[in-house]
A and B are shown apart, each in its own frame.
Chain A
Amino acid sequence: MTQPSQRRTTERLLADAEERLRVTEELPERLASVRGWAYNGDDTVHVTVDVHGALTQLRLDEAALALGAEALGAQIVELSHRAQQAAMGEGVNILGDALGDAAALDMMRSAGLALDPEPEVIPYTPGVDPNAGGWHVIDR
């Protein structure tokens, strides 16, 4: 049995390039529609922002007023910054569709967004059981 070829056909390459162009064209609109939101522990303040961090929606429960004027103002600002982090994460995903994953990862780094942590890799050492001590044999 022969292995299917890993190389992309010309048709496939053209289709991929066209898809990239289409996605790039839609980029400004898609980015403009991205929203991130955050809310406080009591869920009395709910903030929605766009990728620039501009406030698009604010929901306040009457109970939020009990925070007092100063604390409530500070809470809105802080939540809006957290919401913007979420919006930027989504924005980078969209940019990745158009510009490729490498460019998206670069942007995440420069924007100070957290990358998904690498999975833990246990180095292989011959003769050493990496799970030693982690399990027990039931010996009857």
Chain B
Amino acid sequence: MNQRERLEQAFAAAGPIVGRADADGVTVEVSVGGRLRSVRLTPQALRYGAAQLAQTVVATAARATAKANQRAEQVYAQALGGKRVLDGLGLSYDPALAADEDFDRDWTRG
């Protein structure tokens, strides 16, 4: 099996890769690379005002993207034996963003 077939098989086995994150009534789902699949807002999310909402959507999308890219990285690594390829594709991510803890949010809003 060549590299391309190994990759195709690995991604087929992994199923669709979706990164998902939520904060303050905003739930964002993205594909690898960050293309938006859905943005769901609760009526509460709209109460903080437009500027705050826009900021939350962008930050949540960034966390969802980091998760999707991290998952893609795992699938690539499995198929290709640990080689880092995402940086070359412009799909690098901040591991801190991909973490599930919402460490930077609770103290900002109390």
| A binding-site residues for B, Cβ under 8 Å | 28, 31-32, 49-62, 64-65, 69-70, 72-74, 76-77, 80-81, 84
Contact = CB atoms under 8 A, between A and B. Distances in A.
B30 interface: yes
Interface string B20-55: 000000000011111111111111011001110110
Interface residues of B, number: 29
A73 B35 contact: no
Closest 3 CB pairs of A and B: A54-B34, A53-B35, A52-B33
Contacts of A76: 36, 39, 57
A58 B38 contact: no
Contacts of B41: 69-70, 72-73
B39 A77 contact: yes
Contacts of B33: 52-54
A79 B59 CA distance: 18
